[in-house]
Structure 1
Amino acid sequence: MHIEFPKLSKDEPTIGRGSQIKNTTFGQWVELGENNLVDNCVIGDYNYTGQYCFMQNSDLKKFISIAAQVRIGPTNHPYNRVAQHIFAYNGEAYGFAQKDSEYLKTRKQIRTTIGNDVWIGHGAIIQTGLTVGDGAVIGSGAVVTHDVEPYTIVGGVSAKVIKNRFPDEIKTDLEQIAWWDWSRQKLEECYLDFRLPVEEFVKKHLSL
């Protein structure tokens, strides 16, 4: 939520107070809200988050809208081992022997992918290793435990399909247009087209 929308920077992410960033790369025009925790992520162009979001081991494409208190890619504990507790694989803080580097490395390699132009509602959780397709909507409070198809609206615990945003042919056309990959110049030239009905937008840009 923006009380006052900040002026963003093309080249440097705008990062809210209290946020902690580790091993993460940013695209252009990115904004993180206050008190975000971001670890081992790739955050693409024009993405923004609300307050108190926590993202790990995730690849976020472009134009993603993330509300407050969203969690993406939470790591798992080794429930198939004798002990699930962190002391057994990363116990240096407790004065135990060296950490289990192989387990920690493997866990980081399980990536969560969020597609272009996705909207993630307040308090949603997207489990690790999943893919959310382009143009999808994740309802507030949803717990996503399976991949989400492009332009699908899901919600609930665990999340189920509520409806599709557009007919299949429109979905296909939008994926083909892939406006999220347009240059900044083309985005500026066509900016007002984003206010057209989707059918008119497709008709105008599919043939270009």
Structure 2
Amino acid sequence: MPGPNPNAKYPIPGDNNMQFIKNVITMPNLIAGDYSYYYAINGESFEDQVLYHYEFLGTKLMIGKFCSIAGEARFMMAGGNHRMDGSTFPFNIFGNGWEAHTPTLDQLPIKGDTIVGNDVWIGRRATILPGVNIGDGAIIAAEAVVTRDVEPYTIVGGNPAKEIRKRYTPEVIAELLEIRWWDHDIEEIERFMGAIASGDMDLLRQMGKPKQEEGGRPDED
């Protein structure tokens, strides 16, 4: 089979910093698609960058296919939220009788799943806050703090992250979201890889829609 093995933990021989995320994760509430990678800086695993992600909260981090996530990019999950209708101090975690003031889930500002689309590039030391939805083809600049949803094929940066520009015209973005090259069979992706890498729309139009409507989310397989 040409290309890297999608089931390898470390797809580049001798480089354990390059990790295919779906093959190194252990959290049941963390889902990633084929070929999405994290590039470690100090030998950390991707899960080390997913903070306060507790299964009992019921939220998930879902990452699509072919995403590029640079070192020290962090995902702040819902378990880090504090109660906001009164004092923000977490009295309950100290026990000794204070646990009687443990908040219920509906008293915490939980915003739902954090979703990263397909073919997304997240720069070094970017921070993604809970409940954010990052659209397909988006680019998150290094050290950006993403506090709200990012539309497909949009470049954002800063703290808080704001739109810098769209990568393509609205018409081209609509076409790319129909073609969804990441949902094609890998043989078809390899056939059109030159067009995918260069953004050659004339050739990508020949690729057409995926043969099987897969929905574009790894948790829907």
Using structure 2 for the length normalisation, give the TM-score: 0.68
- Name the counterpart of 2:191: 189
Give the AA of the match of 2:81. N
Trace 1:142-157 onto structure 2 (pairs within 5 A): 142-157=144-159
Q: Relative to 1, partners in 2 of residues 1:199 and 1:40: Cα closer, same or farther, differing over 3 Å?
A: same
Greater CA deviation, 147-156 or 183-192?
Answer: 183-192
* 1:11 aligned onto 2:1: no
- Name the counterpart of 1:48: 37
- Name the counterpart of 2:215: none
- Name the counterpart of 2:139: 137
Q: Relative to 1, partners in 2 of residues 1:82 and 1:175: Cα closer, same or farther, differing over 3 Å?
A: same
CA distance in 2, matches of 1:11, 1:175: 26
CA distance in 2, matches of 1:202, 1:84: 53
Q: Relative to 1, partners in 2 of residues 1:12 and 1:100: Cα closer, same or farther, differing over 3 Å?
A: farther
Asked if structure 1 preserves the Cα contact closer than 8 Å seen for 2:126 and 2:145, the reply is yes
Q: More relative contact order in 1 or in 2 (CA 8 Å, sep 6+)?
A: 2
Which stretches in structure 1 are left out of the alignment for 5+ residues? 1-6, 19-28
Trace 1:40-189 onto structure 2 (pairs within 5 A): 40-51=29-40, 52=44, 54-55=49-50, 56=53, 57-74=60-77, 75-82=80-87, 84-85=89-90, 88=92, 90-91=93-94, 100=102, 103=105, 110-189=112-191
Asked if structure 2 preserves the Cα contact closer than 8 Å seen for 1:30 and 1:44, the reply is no
Q: Relative to 1, partners in 2 of residues 1:151 and 1:40: Cα closer, same or farther, differing over 3 Å?
A: same
RMSD: 3.8
CA distance in 2, matches of 1:110, 1:59: 11
Asked if structure 2 preserves the Cα contact closer than 8 Å seen for 1:91 and 1:99, the reply is no
CA distances 1:20-64 after superposition (whole Å, capped 9, x unpaired): xxxxxxxxx9248x9x99673111111111225512431111111
Q: Relative to 1, partners in 2 of residues 1:159 and 1:195: Cα closer, same or farther, differing over 3 Å?
A: closer
Using structure 1 for the length normalisation, give the TM-score: 0.72
Asked if structure 1 preserves the Cα contact closer than 8 Å seen for 2:82 and 2:88, the reply is no
- Name the counterpart of 2:20: 30
Asked if structure 2 preserves the Cα contact closer than 8 Å seen for 1:9 and 1:30, the reply is no
Which stretches in structure 2 are left out of the alignment for 5+ residues? 54-59, 211-221
Q: How many residues align?
A: 187
CA distance in 1, matches of 2:100, 2:37: 37
CA distance in 2, matches of 1:119, 1:76: 26
CA distance in 1, matches of 2:135, 2:30: 18
Query: Per-residue deviation at 1:126?
Result: 1.1
CA distance in 1, matches of 2:125, 2:189: 31
| Greater per-residue helix proportion | 2
| Greater per-residue strand proportion | 1
Q: Relative to 1, partners in 2 of residues 1:192 and 1:83: Cα closer, same or farther, differing over 3 Å?
A: closer
CA distances 1:110-147 after superposition (whole Å, capped 9, x unpaired): 21000110000111111101100000000011111111
